[in-house]
Structure 1
Amino acid sequence: MTSTKVEKEAPATHPQFSFADADVILVSSEDTCFRVPSFTLRNTCGFFRNLSSPCSPLDGEKTQIFNVDEKDKVLAKVLSMICGLYTENWESIQEVEDALALVQKWDAAGPLSVIRSAITAPVFLAEPLRLYAIATKFGWDEEAQLASTRTLTLDLYDEAHKPNLERLSARHLMMLLRLHRSRRDEFKRLVDGDGVFEAGNSSRYLCSGCGEPLNNYTWRELKARMFMEMDRRPLGDSLCSLEMEEWPEALACWTAKCQKNDCGRPNYNKLETLRDIRGCIDRLPLHIW
């Protein structure tokens, strides 16, 4: 950013930023002028803290002009927060990231607080990895936890997520990977236990109708499929869903019956088993810690 003194008013002024008491002009990279009071800049931004007032008002002979690197949209968004003109109309998380870069450059605490208050809007939650990167960068713990929960619908090993993951610090990347892995592994531990799922996991479980030993092959196959699904989508919302109803492993498990000729009793109670699977998912950690 450079500062110069001029003796005439700069052209192409932004219509929202033409204050009567303006004595500073900020010129965007698109050559649009933003006329704002130096008093406002000094009292809201550490970067402008030592900004001196010009020798005369704007309609006099001299005005300070600063050339900045940002485009109109970014500059207008940040200045609207600084000057009390802010309206919450963010269009994308990219717009937030651009604004945050300028807020950091100018050391503007007020806009940073405003952005934090809006950062969990649905438009940003739709891109949880980018939101997680922003929240962890600025130390916003509650927002980072919420974003980490929203990442549970993602397969972090998908190449499409590599650019966003590379933006994270090693510490925060490991925290996110640990959350995803712990949900998968804890789910496996729970469904492998013979407390809740005794009929499927006990080494010798007998048919409740005739006492014939059960063949648990179909349950083991379903568990393997559920483990793979939790690895792909750790939220677990695809389990016990209509999607799961179409799995060959699920169909085989729910139709498995005692092989004794005069029995044919179902090996597993489908509704109770699905309820217990859902109970296991509900016990899993939901966010980073």
Structure 2
Amino acid sequence: MESSRPEDTPRTYHPAFASPEANVVLRSAEGTLYRVPSFVLVNTTEFFRNGISPHATGTAGNDVLIPVNEKDAILERLLRMLCGLSTSRWQGYDEVEGVLKLAEEWNTPGPLAAIRAAITTPLFLASPLRLFAVATHFGWEEEAKLASRYTLALSLYDEEHQELLERLPSKDVLALLGLHRKRRDEFKRLLDTETVFDAGNSDPRFCRECGERLDNHTWRELKIRMFMEMDRRPLGDIVGGLDMEEWPEAQACWNAKCGKETCGKPNYDRLVMLQGIQGCIAKLSDSL
């Protein structure tokens, strides 16, 4: 641990960390000084435990000065958490990741636990891939599981996610891709079963009204479109919902009728088919 004595130059102390009774002075990368009692650093961080005596003197001109290569926003936030001072609301991932990096470097269990408790608020759930990256890095299983569920609303193959995915260990990327692929493939398997969709998957199938053989190509085309949508957005909230009603494939399927001129009975009961689709989605695995 690099330390020195404060130089005989004007000092700018952070107003919340300026008590002359605090005997350790931390200097941020921006030059701001923070007075902190040595016993706080020794008892809350493993990093300082063997580097500072809890009985170090704190007389003027005899404090320990320790440069910290962090900006004020990061250093102040972590020191406030260590000292039990009030903190403002988190502003986003850039802030919390910076504090997490320093907290991990210093090995500070208290701040890490506090951040873990806050990391699943709506602010952070709005960026589930970043939450997944943080949670897997620290081995926070419940948070990683929750983040994986929220990633189902994303298309992981979109270019906008590439940089973040490249930062993840390959095992975590593969696990996440596996969840998305498993959900898509399981949905396709359920769509192809005759027990749920006998009206579309039975071959041959005949009109219950007149006995004419029916053509199920519109259902097959709708299944392809649903599979593609689940591949793009495995959450499946569009499939089986109101937005799907605008698809040409859905309209063609629901409008399909028996080809016999004197019959014209609809090939499918739209409501029954939609209930079956939604039931399939409800059965899918939704997290790691």
TM-score bracket for the superposition, by shorter chain length: over 0.9
Please state how far the C-alpha of 1:265 moved relative to its aligned partner. 0.8
Q: Does 1:203 align with 2:203?
A: yes
Aligned to 1:29: 29
Please state how far the C-alpha of 1:35 moved relative to its aligned partner. 1.1
Taking a change above 3 Å as real, the CA distance of residues 286 and 86 of structure 1, as seen in their structure-2 partners, is farther
Check whether the contact 2:24–2:58 (CA below 8 A) recurs between aligned residues.
no
- Mapped to 1, the partners of 2:246 and 2:202 lie a distance apart of 26
TM-score by length of 1: 0.95
Match of 2:25, SS? strand
Q: Which amino acid aligns with 2:229?
A: E
CA root-mean-square deviation: 1.5
TM alignment of 1:9-24, pairs within 5 A: 11-19=11-19, 21-24=21-24
Deviates most, 163-172 or 269-278: 163-172
Aligned to 1:52: 53
Aligned to 1:267: 267
Check whether the contact 2:38–2:56 (CA below 8 A) recurs between aligned residues.
no
Taking a change above 3 Å as real, the CA distance of residues 23 and 8 of structure 1, as seen in their structure-2 partners, is farther
Q: Which amino acid aligns with 1:101?
A: K
Deviates most, 164-173 or 119-128: 164-173
Report how many residues are paired.
Answer: 287
Q: Does 1:277 align with 2:288?
A: no
Aligned to 1:141: 141
Aligned to 1:64: 64
Please state how far the C-alpha of 1:241 moved relative to its aligned partner. 1.9
Aligned to 2:233: 233
TM alignment of 1:1-289, pairs within 5 A: 2-6=2-6, 11-19=11-19, 21-50=21-50, 51-52=52-53, 56-58=57-59, 60-87=60-87, 89-288=89-288
Q: Which amino acid aligns with 1:23?
A: N
TM-score by length of 2: 0.96
In proportion to residue count, which structure has more strand?
Answer: 1
- Mapped to 1, the partners of 2:8 and 2:36 lie a distance apart of 16
Please state how far the C-alpha of 1:57 moved relative to its aligned partner. 2.4
Unaligned runs of 5+ in 1: none
Q: Which amino acid aligns with 1:57?
A: G
Match of 1:66, SS? strand
Matched residues, percent identical? Answer: 54
Unaligned runs of 5+ in 2: none
Deviations along 1:90-110, one digit per CA (max 9) or x if unpaired, are 100111111111011111111
Check whether the contact 2:20–2:58 (CA below 8 A) recurs between aligned residues.
no
Q: Which amino acid aligns with 1:262?
A: T
Deviates most, 45-54 or 148-157: 45-54
Q: Which amino acid aligns with 2:199?
A: A
Match of 1:25, SS? strand
Match of 1:34, SS? strand
Match of 2:167, SS? coil
Q: Which amino acid aligns with 2:18?
A: S
Please state how far the C-alpha of 1:176 moved relative to its aligned partner. 0.6
Taking a change above 3 Å as real, the CA distance of residues 211 and 55 of structure 1, as seen in their structure-2 partners, is closer
Check whether the contact 2:5–2:61 (CA below 8 A) recurs between aligned residues.
no
- Mapped to 2, the partners of 1:62 and 1:193 lie a distance apart of 79
Taking a change above 3 Å as real, the CA distance of residues 10 and 151 of structure 1, as seen in their structure-2 partners, is farther
Check whether the contact 1:7–1:62 (CA below 8 A) recurs between aligned residues.
no
- Mapped to 2, the partners of 1:166 and 1:131 lie a distance apart of 15
Please state how far the C-alpha of 1:6 moved relative to its aligned partner. 3.2
Check whether the contact 1:54–1:64 (CA below 8 A) recurs between aligned residues.
no
Check whether the contact 1:44–1:110 (CA below 8 A) recurs between aligned residues.
yes
Q: Which amino acid aligns with 1:52?
A: S
Deviates most, 249-258 or 45-54: 45-54
Please state how far the C-alpha of 1:174 moved relative to its aligned partner. 1.2
